[in-house]
């Protein structure tokens, strides 16, 4: 069972992974951040720099570029992009301890299902509410929030899963980060997935933060259209998400993270592939299976894919 002496590895130490891993290291846990060379070099040299509402400074923590350094970990925080889930699973599978626990901190609703063919260890999803961004190698800016909801969508075997989930929640709680165990994790995942699908793509296309998005009536109407299509797809998948609940979820994100640009926006700005295939793209796929029309999600998905392949250029530079 997990304890203060447990070893924790963060696989995919970007903004989200570094924030949670850094806070756990600050609380005294043995943490290894596994990520890109630029971040690893900076962290090993200067520590992980976290600029947060209640803390600003360097946190000493180990960093590595090698997944093999997760071999001794009791708990794996999987924070790679959804596009890299299967590749990460194949790399992790030969090195993980048989009793290791995996917690997915990723966007989307199907990452644990995509891990399952490759990894025998218990893997649980987390609904993550945090506004963070990388502001240079080894430097994390925390804009707000920082809580998790975790659970077992399969609920079997229930006793073992519950014990593991309580132990994981205890780790985060002991580091001052709220972590609730929910028996309705599928519902919680889909409610967060709603926000990913209504906000991320628009924020990316306009390179605009959430708070500014909702001030525009046209964008508010677009969010409402995306929400209506999403609810139809969720209900077809057995998720009872009411319109009132969906509206509150959308409002909450704009109110609690007004200055945040989506991870999809940050990826496009850096010329990196986005997770849009695992957000609005998943809605398009599921809707097709159920014979549901989702033209607004299809448009957002297509436009973000266009910018992935053909980034916007500054016209003044071309003149």
CA-based nearest residue to 226, from 234, 238, 215 = 234
Taking the C-alpha atoms of residue 257 and residue 289, their distance in angstroms, rounded to an integer, is 34
Both 84 and 22 in a single domain?
yes
300 touches 280 (CB < 8 A): yes
For residue 314, pLDDT beyond 90: no
Taking the C-alpha atoms of residue 213 and residue 220, their distance in angstroms, rounded to an integer, is 7
**Residue 291: phi, psi to the nearest 5?**
70, 30
* SS3 of residue 207 by DSSP: coil
Q: Which of 151, 167, 183 is the last residue of a domain?
A: 183
246 touches 197 (CB < 8 A): no
Number of domains in the chain: 2
Q: 0.85 cut: is pTM over it?
A: yes
For residue 313, pLDDT beyond 70: no
Both 178 and 208 in a single domain?
no
Both 16 and 95 in a single domain?
yes
Both 126 and 268 in a single domain?
no
Taking the C-alpha atoms of residue 71 and residue 78, their distance in angstroms, rounded to an integer, is 14
Mean pLDDT score, 205-213: 95
pLDDT of 293 reads: 98
- Between the alpha carbon of residue 93 and those of residues 43, 97, 157, the distances in Å are 26, 9, 22
* SS3 of residue 261 by DSSP: coil
pLDDT-derived band at 159, boundaries 50, 70, 90: low
Q: How many other CB atoms sit within 10 Å of the CB of residue 205? A: 18
Over residues 77-100, the pLDDT tens digits come to 999 999 999 999 999 999 999 999
- In a domain? residue 272: yes
Greatest alpha-carbon span in the chain: 66
- In a domain? residue 317: no
The residues near 277 (Cβ < 8 Å, ≥ 6 apart) are 82, 83, 301, 305
The residues near 248 (Cβ < 8 Å, ≥ 6 apart) are none
- Between the alpha carbon of residue 274 and those of residues 41, 109, 140, the distances in Å are 25, 16, 20
Structure tokens, 185: 């994790």
Domain that holds residue 222: 186-312
Taking the C-alpha atoms of residue 47 and residue 36, their distance in angstroms, rounded to an integer, is 15
- In a domain? residue 30: yes
For residue 20, pLDDT beyond 50: yes
pLDDT of 89 reads: 97
- In a domain? residue 1: no
pLDDT-derived band at 312, boundaries 50, 70, 90: confident
- In a domain? residue 18: yes
Q: How many other CB atoms sit within 10 Å of the CB of residue 44? A: 16
Mean pLDDT score, 250-265: 91
Taking the C-alpha atoms of residue 151 and residue 161, their distance in angstroms, rounded to an integer, is 8
CA-based nearest residue to 168, from 54, 78, 98, 249 = 78
Structure tokens, 144: 């707000």
Mean pLDDT score, 15-35: 97
């Amino acid at each position: 069972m997990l304890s203060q002496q447990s070893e924790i590895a963060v696989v995919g130490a970007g903004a989200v992974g570094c924030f949670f891993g850094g806070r756990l290291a600050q609380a005294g846990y043995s943490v290894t951040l596994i990520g890109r060379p630029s971040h690893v070099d900076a962290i090993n040299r200067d520590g992980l720099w976290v600029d947060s509402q209640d803390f600003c400074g360097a946190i000493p923590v180990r960093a590595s570029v090698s997944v093999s350094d997760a071999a001794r970990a009791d708990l794996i925080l999987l924070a790679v992009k959804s596009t890299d889930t299967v590749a990460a699973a194949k790399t992790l599978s030969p090195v993980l301890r048989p009793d290791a626990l995996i917690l997915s901190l990723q966007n989307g609703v199907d990452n644990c299902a995509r891990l399952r063919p490759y990894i025998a260890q218990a893997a649980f999803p987390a609904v993550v509410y945090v506004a963070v961004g990388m502001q240079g190698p080894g430097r994390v800016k925390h804009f707000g929030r920082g809580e998790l909801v975790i659970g077992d969508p399969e609920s079997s075997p229930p006793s073992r899963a519950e014990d593991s989930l309580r132990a994981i929640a205890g780790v985060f709680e002991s580091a001052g980060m709220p972590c609730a165990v929910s028996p309705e994790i599928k519902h919680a995942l889909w409610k967060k997935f709603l926000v990913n699908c209504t906000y991320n793509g628009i924020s990316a296309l306009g390179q605009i933060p959430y708070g500014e998005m909702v001030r525009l009536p046209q964008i508010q109407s677009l969010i409402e259209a995306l929400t209506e299509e999403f609810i139809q797809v969720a209900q077809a998948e057995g998720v009872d998400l009411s319109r009132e609940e969906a509206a509150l979820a959308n409002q909450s994100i704009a109110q609690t993270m007004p200055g945040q640009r989506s991870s999809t926006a940050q990826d496009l700005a850096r010329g990196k592939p986005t997770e849009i295939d695992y957000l609005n793209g998943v809605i398009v796929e599921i809707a097709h299976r159920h014979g549901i029309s989702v033209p607004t999600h299809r448009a957002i998905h297509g436009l973000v894919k266009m910018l992935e392949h053909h980034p916007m250029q500054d016209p003044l530079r071309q003149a």
